Amino acid sequence: MAEPDFYLSDAQRELQRALREFVANEIAPLATRCDADEHFPVELFPKMGALGYLGLGFPEASGGSGGSCLDYAILCEELARGSGGIALGIYVHMALACAALESFGSPDLRRAWLPGAFAGERIGGWAFAEAGAGSDAGAIATRAVADGDAFVINGSKTFITNAPIADFLVVVASTAPEKRLKGLSLFLVECDRPGFRVEASLSKLGVRASEMGTLAFEDCRVPRGNLIGRENGGFLDALATLTLGRIASAAFATGVARSAYEATLGYVAERVQFGQPIGSFQAVRFGVADMALQIEAARLLCHRAAAAADRGLPHGREASMAKLYATEACTRIVERALHYHGAAGYMSESPIQRYYRDCKVFELGEGSSELQRNMIARELGL
């Protein structure tokens, strides 16, 4: 498909080309096996680190590779085109764990953790969700109580991507329960810290190449220096400023949708029924045209939000619109891809069924579609 990439710089086009080669050689060949085994290929982390991909969009002063949010969006789309699950594991590391640390961590914490994280030597995770707290962050029950120059954390977390493979987690805990949302703080917790353990690995419908677990904190003592950002304000600050995750979600969804679309374009040209390729039937042609249209619209919304972020312009609404549109479009596109592949797409060996299982999560994570609509409406003054 001709891409609406006239606005990309030569360096960004080169980045896109190099990433496509990397994904074709290093990620796509692993996608089916890692999905079947529910296994994240951790050896990808140092490989990506050595190429500077894990530090993309982060300042060189912190050990990052420099580059822009738009560069990062290009990275996410290409990774997801290879494997939604592998892309998810990398996204949680970069867009949630490293981004929170970079934006709000103390110089000591940043120095201690970011260079290793960008090199792929240390894997990060984001521990927010709990059994009773998903969309409603104010319901978080994990407690961190100040005790001298430390905080003592008690509680549990669930649905935490990278938990079984992580070296450190950015943990959201309540430091002032009566204040609900305004009493949440962020902490860096090293995964070998006494009082912390990964309790169970969780099996899931899609994005199975990412690994997920539940966490338990029992009198887990972390130094005050591990506080990321403001006590009682760290989470709200992160919520207000960390748009990277929503932009990344939009790019992931675009990448998965593109895989499904490209496979469909080839399939409908070859599959013959009633003496002609099914792609010559108007019903199918219209459907494939709509797929292409939605992918380009999703990418443009995503890149607009990224470009606004790069220019220091307000972009919260743009990020929500991109995330909402791209993730819902991805689900529609993948559903059509499966439909046009017929039974062949439904078979376990077909990547189409994997895309079908992978796509739905993008609508749920990083604030579900309903939360994005709420945010957009709020920005519209409603």
Ligand X SMILES: Cc1cc2nc3c(=O)[nH]c(=O)nc-3n(C[C@H](O)[C@H](O)[C@H](O)COP(=O)(O)OP(=O)(O)OC[C@H]3O[C@@H](n4cnc5c(N)ncnc54)[C@H](O)[C@@H]3O)c2cc1C
365 binds ligand X (CB under 6 A): yes
Nearest-approach distance from CB 276 to ligand X, in angstroms: 41
Residue 359 within binding range of ligand X, rule CB under 6 A? no
Interaction residues for ligand X, span 131-150 (CB under 6 A): 134-135
Q: Which stretch binds ligand X (CB under 6 A): 42-50, 121-129, 227-235, 324-332?
A: 121-129
Residue 58 DSSP class: B
- Listed ranges 73-81, 124-132, 186-194, 313-321: which one lies at the site for ligand X (CB under 6 A): 124-132
* Catalytic-residue membership of 366: yes
Smallest distance from the beta carbon of 181 to ligand X, in angstroms?
Answer: 13
Site for ligand X in 191-210 (CB under 6 A): 204, 207
Q: Which residues contact 189 (CB under 8 A, 6 or more apart)?
A: 127, 153, 168, 169, 171, 196, 217, 220, 222, 226
Q: Please identify, using beta-carbon distances, which residue of 48 and 100 lies nearer to ligand X.
A: 100
What are the beta bridge partners of residue 168? 124, 190
- Number of residues lying near ligand X (CB under 6 A): 19
Residue 298 · residue 254 · CB < 8 Å? yes
Closer to ligand X by Cβ: residue 11 or 377: 377
Asked if residue 235 binds ligand X (CB under 6 A), the reply is no
Beta bridge partners of 171: 127, 187
- Does position 20 interact with ligand X (CB under 6 A)? The reply is no
Q: Are 146 and 77 in contact (CB under 8 A)?
A: no
Interior/surface letters 27-63, b for 16+ CB within 10 angstroms, e for the rest? bbebbbebbeebbbbeebbeebbebebbbbbbeeebb
Residue 99 binds ligand X, judged by CB under 6 A:
no
Task: Give helix 84-91 / helix 28-37 axis angle, nearest 10°.
Answer: 90
Tell me: does residue 156 bind ligand X (CB under 6 A): no
Q: Taking the complex as a whole, how short is the minimal distance between the CB of residue 267 and ligand X, in angstroms? A: 27
Nearer to ligand X, 159 or 355 (CB): 159
Distance CA 225, CA 222 (A): 8
Options 98-106, 268-276, 334-342, 359-367: segment touching ligand X (CB under 6 A): 359-367
Beta strands in 48-91 (DSSP E): none
* CB nearer ligand X, residue 168 or residue 340: 168
Task: Report the residue from 160, 209, 253, 329 that binds ligand X according to the rule CB under 6 A.
Answer: 160
Q: How far is the CB of 17 from ligand X (least distance, A)?
A: 30
The yes or no reply on residue 129 touching ligand X (CB under 6 A) is yes
CB count in 10 Å sphere of residue 3? 12
Please answer whether residues 142 and 173 qualify as being in contact, where contact means their C-beta atoms are separated by less than 8 angstroms: yes
Residue 355, φ and ψ in degrees, nearest 5: -60, -40
List contacts with ligand X (CB under 6 A): 92, 125-129, 134-135, 159-161, 204, 207, 212, 361, 364-365, 368, 370
